Structure 1
Amino acid sequence: MKPKVAFICVHNSCRSQMAEALGKMFASDVFESYSAGTELRPQINQDAVRIIKDLYNVDMNETHKSKLLDDIPEVDIVVKMGCNVVCPFLPSRHEEDWGLEDPSGKSDEEFIKTAKIIEEKVKDLAKRIKNNEIDLSLERDVR
Protein backbone atom coordinates (compact mmCIF):
# COMPACT_ATOMS: atom_id res chain seq x y z
CA MET A 1 0.00 0.00 0.00
CA LYS A 2 1.33 3.43 -0.97
CA PRO A 3 1.84 6.01 1.77
CA LYS A 4 -0.48 8.99 1.83
CA VAL A 5 1.19 12.43 1.74
CA ALA A 6 -0.57 15.65 2.75
CA PHE A 7 0.79 18.97 1.58
CA ILE A 8 -0.57 21.53 4.03
CA CYS A 9 -0.66 25.27 4.56
CA VAL A 10 -3.16 27.65 6.06
CA HIS A 11 -5.30 28.49 3.01
CA ASN A 12 -4.79 25.47 0.71
CA SER A 13 -4.98 27.72 -2.32
CA CYS A 14 -1.50 27.98 -3.83
CA ARG A 15 1.69 26.09 -2.82
CA SER A 16 -0.06 23.07 -1.30
CA GLN A 17 -2.34 22.80 -4.34
CA MET A 18 0.68 22.99 -6.66
CA ALA A 19 2.39 20.27 -4.60
CA GLU A 20 -0.67 18.01 -4.73
CA ALA A 21 -0.87 18.40 -8.52
CA LEU A 22 2.86 17.77 -9.01
CA GLY A 23 2.80 14.87 -6.55
CA LYS A 24 0.07 13.24 -8.62
CA MET A 25 2.01 13.93 -11.80
CA PHE A 26 5.52 12.88 -10.76
CA ALA A 27 5.09 10.47 -7.83
CA SER A 28 1.73 8.70 -8.08
CA ASP A 29 3.61 5.40 -8.42
CA VAL A 30 5.18 5.99 -4.99
CA PHE A 31 2.63 7.90 -2.89
CA GLU A 32 -0.92 9.29 -2.87
CA SER A 33 -1.07 13.10 -2.82
CA TYR A 34 -3.50 15.28 -0.89
CA SER A 35 -3.54 18.92 0.10
CA ALA A 36 -5.45 20.75 2.81
CA GLY A 37 -5.48 23.75 5.10
CA THR A 38 -7.23 25.26 8.09
CA GLU A 39 -9.12 27.89 6.10
CA LEU A 40 -10.97 27.58 2.79
CA ARG A 41 -10.66 29.92 -0.15
CA PRO A 42 -13.49 30.26 -2.69
CA GLN A 43 -11.08 29.21 -5.43
CA ILE A 44 -7.49 28.12 -5.95
CA ASN A 45 -5.01 30.93 -6.68
CA GLN A 46 -5.56 31.55 -10.39
CA ASP A 47 -1.92 32.52 -11.00
CA ALA A 48 -0.90 29.11 -9.64
CA VAL A 49 -3.53 27.45 -11.84
CA ARG A 50 -2.24 29.28 -14.93
CA ILE A 51 1.45 28.53 -14.24
CA ILE A 52 0.83 24.80 -13.57
CA LYS A 53 -1.26 24.64 -16.77
CA ASP A 54 1.50 26.41 -18.76
CA LEU A 55 4.37 24.35 -17.33
CA TYR A 56 2.78 20.91 -16.90
CA ASN A 57 -0.50 20.97 -18.88
CA VAL A 58 -2.51 20.20 -15.73
CA ASP A 59 -5.69 22.20 -15.12
CA MET A 60 -6.05 22.46 -11.35
CA ASN A 61 -9.44 24.19 -11.76
CA GLU A 62 -10.79 20.89 -13.11
CA THR A 63 -9.11 18.54 -10.63
CA HIS A 64 -8.64 20.47 -7.35
CA LYS A 65 -10.59 22.44 -4.79
CA SER A 66 -9.69 24.05 -1.49
CA LYS A 67 -9.97 21.46 1.30
CA LEU A 68 -9.86 21.51 5.09
CA LEU A 69 -7.67 19.13 7.10
CA ASP A 70 -10.80 17.11 8.02
CA ASP A 71 -11.63 16.60 4.32
CA ILE A 72 -8.69 14.28 3.63
CA PRO A 73 -7.97 10.74 4.89
CA GLU A 74 -5.44 9.91 7.60
CA VAL A 75 -1.96 10.41 6.18
CA ASP A 76 1.48 8.94 6.72
CA ILE A 77 3.57 11.97 5.77
CA VAL A 78 2.85 15.67 6.31
CA VAL A 79 4.70 18.30 4.30
CA LYS A 80 4.27 21.84 5.56
CA MET A 81 4.79 24.33 2.77
CA GLY A 82 6.32 27.07 4.93
CA CYS A 83 3.53 28.99 6.57
CA ASN A 84 5.48 31.87 8.17
CA VAL A 85 2.75 31.65 10.82
CA VAL A 86 1.64 28.71 12.93
CA CYS A 87 1.30 25.86 10.45
CA PRO A 88 -1.67 23.53 10.82
CA PHE A 89 -1.08 20.27 12.69
CA LEU A 90 -2.03 16.91 11.21
CA PRO A 91 -1.09 13.57 12.83
CA SER A 92 1.44 11.60 10.79
CA ARG A 93 4.38 9.19 10.93
CA HIS A 94 6.77 11.70 9.35
CA GLU A 95 6.67 15.47 9.03
CA GLU A 96 8.84 17.98 7.22
CA ASP A 97 8.67 21.68 6.39
CA TRP A 98 9.70 22.76 2.91
CA GLY A 99 9.89 26.43 3.94
CA LEU A 100 8.61 27.81 0.63
CA GLU A 101 7.80 31.50 0.24
CA ASP A 102 4.22 32.16 -0.86
CA PRO A 103 4.34 33.56 -4.41
CA SER A 104 0.80 35.00 -4.14
CA GLY A 105 0.67 38.55 -5.46
CA LYS A 106 4.14 38.24 -6.99
CA SER A 107 5.42 37.88 -10.55
CA ASP A 108 5.04 34.87 -12.83
CA GLU A 109 8.77 34.27 -12.37
CA GLU A 110 8.18 33.72 -8.64
CA PHE A 111 5.36 31.25 -9.37
CA ILE A 112 7.54 29.40 -11.90
CA LYS A 113 10.44 29.29 -9.42
CA THR A 114 8.12 27.94 -6.71
CA ALA A 115 6.65 25.31 -9.06
CA LYS A 116 10.13 24.11 -10.09
CA ILE A 117 11.26 23.89 -6.43
CA ILE A 118 8.12 21.91 -5.58
CA GLU A 119 8.73 19.57 -8.55
CA GLU A 120 12.27 18.84 -7.34
CA LYS A 121 11.13 18.37 -3.73
CA VAL A 122 8.30 16.02 -4.79
CA LYS A 123 10.76 13.92 -6.82
CA ASP A 124 13.21 13.89 -3.90
CA LEU A 125 10.45 12.85 -1.47
CA ALA A 126 9.46 10.00 -3.81
CA LYS A 127 13.10 8.88 -4.02
CA ARG A 128 13.48 8.93 -0.23
CA ILE A 129 10.29 6.91 0.21
CA LYS A 130 11.40 4.37 -2.44
CA ASN A 131 14.81 4.04 -0.77
CA ASN A 132 13.19 3.58 2.66
CA GLU A 133 14.96 6.69 3.94
CA ILE A 134 11.76 7.78 5.68
CA ASP A 135 10.70 5.52 8.53
CA LEU A 136 6.95 4.99 8.22
CA SER A 137 6.81 2.16 10.74
CA LEU A 138 6.49 4.49 13.74
CA GLU A 139 3.24 5.23 15.48
CA ARG A 140 1.48 8.35 14.27
CA ASP A 141 2.63 11.54 15.93
CA VAL A 142 -0.52 12.65 17.73
CA ARG A 143 0.91 15.44 19.94
Structure 2
Amino acid sequence: MTKPKVAFICVHNSCRSQIAEALGKKFASDEFEFFSAGTELRPHINQDAVRLMKKIYGIDMEETQQSKLLEQIPSVDIVITMGCNVNCPFLPCQYREDWGLDDPSGQSDEVFLETMNKIEKKVKELIIRKDELLKK
Protein backbone atom coordinates (compact mmCIF):
# COMPACT_ATOMS: atom_id res chain seq x y z
CA MET A 1 0.00 0.00 0.00
CA THR A 2 1.33 3.43 -0.89
CA LYS A 3 1.86 6.02 1.81
CA PRO A 4 -0.35 9.11 1.77
CA LYS A 5 1.37 12.17 0.34
CA VAL A 6 1.43 15.37 2.41
CA ALA A 7 2.30 18.80 1.01
CA PHE A 8 3.27 21.72 3.22
CA ILE A 9 2.39 24.88 1.33
CA CYS A 10 3.19 28.54 1.74
CA VAL A 11 3.81 31.34 -0.71
CA HIS A 12 7.62 31.34 -0.88
CA ASN A 13 8.54 27.80 0.17
CA SER A 14 11.59 29.08 2.00
CA CYS A 15 11.03 28.70 5.74
CA ARG A 16 8.01 27.18 7.54
CA SER A 17 7.05 24.75 4.78
CA GLN A 18 10.68 23.66 4.39
CA ILE A 19 10.99 23.08 8.15
CA ALA A 20 7.76 21.07 8.07
CA GLU A 21 8.95 18.92 5.15
CA ALA A 22 12.25 18.18 6.93
CA LEU A 23 10.60 17.37 10.27
CA GLY A 24 7.92 15.29 8.55
CA LYS A 25 10.61 13.19 6.90
CA LYS A 26 12.48 12.86 10.20
CA PHE A 27 9.54 11.87 12.40
CA ALA A 28 6.95 10.30 10.11
CA SER A 29 8.53 9.07 6.88
CA ASP A 30 7.30 5.56 7.65
CA GLU A 31 3.69 6.86 7.64
CA PHE A 32 3.69 9.55 4.91
CA GLU A 33 5.59 10.96 1.94
CA PHE A 34 6.33 14.65 2.50
CA PHE A 35 6.74 17.55 0.10
CA SER A 36 6.76 21.33 0.34
CA ALA A 37 6.06 23.94 -2.31
CA GLY A 38 4.92 27.49 -2.96
CA THR A 39 3.73 29.82 -5.70
CA GLU A 40 7.00 31.78 -5.74
CA LEU A 41 10.59 30.62 -5.41
CA ARG A 42 13.28 32.08 -3.22
CA PRO A 43 16.91 31.61 -4.33
CA HIS A 44 17.63 29.59 -1.18
CA ILE A 45 16.03 28.24 1.98
CA ASN A 46 15.97 30.71 4.89
CA GLN A 47 19.48 30.61 6.34
CA ASP A 48 18.34 30.91 9.96
CA ALA A 49 16.08 27.90 9.43
CA VAL A 50 18.96 25.98 7.81
CA ARG A 51 21.33 26.82 10.68
CA LEU A 52 18.89 25.95 13.46
CA MET A 53 17.63 22.75 11.83
CA LYS A 54 21.27 21.59 11.58
CA LYS A 55 21.96 22.55 15.18
CA ILE A 56 18.80 21.11 16.78
CA TYR A 57 17.90 18.16 14.55
CA GLY A 58 21.09 17.42 12.62
CA ILE A 59 19.21 18.02 9.34
CA ASP A 60 20.96 19.88 6.52
CA MET A 61 17.99 21.14 4.52
CA GLU A 62 20.28 22.58 1.83
CA GLU A 63 21.51 19.06 1.07
CA THR A 64 18.12 17.33 1.11
CA GLN A 65 15.64 19.98 -0.08
CA GLN A 66 15.16 22.88 -2.46
CA SER A 67 12.55 25.55 -3.05
CA LYS A 68 9.79 24.15 -5.31
CA LEU A 69 6.73 25.46 -7.09
CA LEU A 70 3.33 23.76 -6.66
CA GLU A 71 3.54 22.23 -10.12
CA GLN A 72 6.85 20.54 -9.27
CA ILE A 73 5.38 18.16 -6.69
CA PRO A 74 3.15 15.12 -7.31
CA SER A 75 -0.58 14.96 -6.57
CA VAL A 76 -1.08 14.82 -2.82
CA ASP A 77 -3.67 13.50 -0.36
CA ILE A 78 -3.22 16.07 2.41
CA VAL A 79 -2.41 19.78 2.13
CA ILE A 80 -1.20 21.73 5.13
CA THR A 81 -0.96 25.48 4.67
CA MET A 82 1.38 27.22 7.07
CA GLY A 83 -0.66 30.36 7.73
CA CYS A 84 -0.11 32.64 4.80
CA ASN A 85 -1.99 35.67 6.19
CA VAL A 86 -2.98 36.29 2.57
CA ASN A 87 -4.53 33.98 0.00
CA CYS A 88 -2.81 30.66 0.56
CA PRO A 89 -1.93 28.77 -2.62
CA PHE A 90 -4.50 26.18 -3.69
CA LEU A 91 -3.63 22.56 -4.36
CA PRO A 92 -6.24 19.81 -4.91
CA CYS A 93 -6.33 17.22 -2.13
CA GLN A 94 -8.48 14.87 -0.07
CA TYR A 95 -7.97 16.82 3.18
CA ARG A 96 -6.75 20.36 3.92
CA GLU A 97 -5.95 22.31 7.06
CA ASP A 98 -4.14 25.50 7.99
CA TRP A 99 -1.63 25.52 10.83
CA GLY A 100 -1.76 29.31 11.27
CA LEU A 101 1.95 29.72 11.97
CA ASP A 102 3.54 33.17 11.77
CA ASP A 103 6.61 33.41 9.58
CA PRO A 104 9.69 33.57 11.85
CA SER A 105 11.87 35.11 9.10
CA GLY A 106 13.83 38.07 10.44
CA GLN A 107 12.99 37.14 14.04
CA SER A 108 15.20 35.89 16.88
CA ASP A 109 16.41 32.32 17.28
CA GLU A 110 13.88 31.91 20.09
CA VAL A 111 11.02 32.67 17.69
CA PHE A 112 12.44 30.19 15.15
CA LEU A 113 12.79 27.52 17.83
CA GLU A 114 9.21 28.10 18.99
CA THR A 115 7.99 27.71 15.40
CA MET A 116 10.08 24.57 14.92
CA ASN A 117 8.67 23.08 18.14
CA LYS A 118 5.10 23.81 17.01
CA ILE A 119 5.76 22.19 13.64
CA GLU A 120 7.33 19.11 15.27
CA LYS A 121 4.29 18.70 17.54
CA LYS A 122 1.85 19.08 14.64
CA VAL A 123 3.77 16.61 12.46
CA LYS A 124 3.65 14.04 15.26
CA GLU A 125 -0.10 14.69 15.63
CA LEU A 126 -0.54 13.88 11.92
CA ILE A 127 0.58 10.32 12.64
CA ILE A 128 -2.06 9.94 15.34
CA ARG A 129 -4.76 11.48 13.13
CA LYS A 130 -3.79 9.72 9.89
CA ASP A 131 -6.83 7.45 9.56
CA GLU A 132 -9.26 10.20 10.59
CA LEU A 133 -7.84 12.66 8.06
CA LEU A 134 -8.02 10.30 5.13
CA LYS A 135 -11.65 9.26 5.79
CA LYS A 136 -12.99 12.76 5.14
- Paired positions, count: 135
Q: Which residue of 1 aligns with 2:64?
A: 63
Letter in 2 for 1:49: V
Give a deviation string over 1:32-70, Cα, whole Å, max 9, x none. Answer: 000000000000000000111111000001111100000
Cα separation, 2, equivalents of 1:26 and 1:7: 15
Matches within 5 A, 1:37-56: 37-56=38-57
Give percent identity, aligned residues only. Answer: 67
Q: Which residue of 2 aligns with 1:105?
A: 106
Which contiguous aligned blocks of 4+ residues in structure 1 show a shift greater than 4 angstroms?
none
Cα separation, 2, equivalents of 1:62 and 1:135: 31
Q: Which residue of 2 aligns with 1:141?
A: none
Higher helix fraction (1 or 2): 2
Report the Cα offset of residue 135 of structure 1: 2.9
Q: Which residue of 1 aligns with 2:27?
A: 26
Matches within 5 A, 1:1-143: 1-129=2-130, 132-136=131-135
Letter in 2 for 1:133: E
Letter in 2 for 1:12: N
Report the Cα offset of residue 133 of structure 1: 1.3
TM-score (norm 2): 0.97
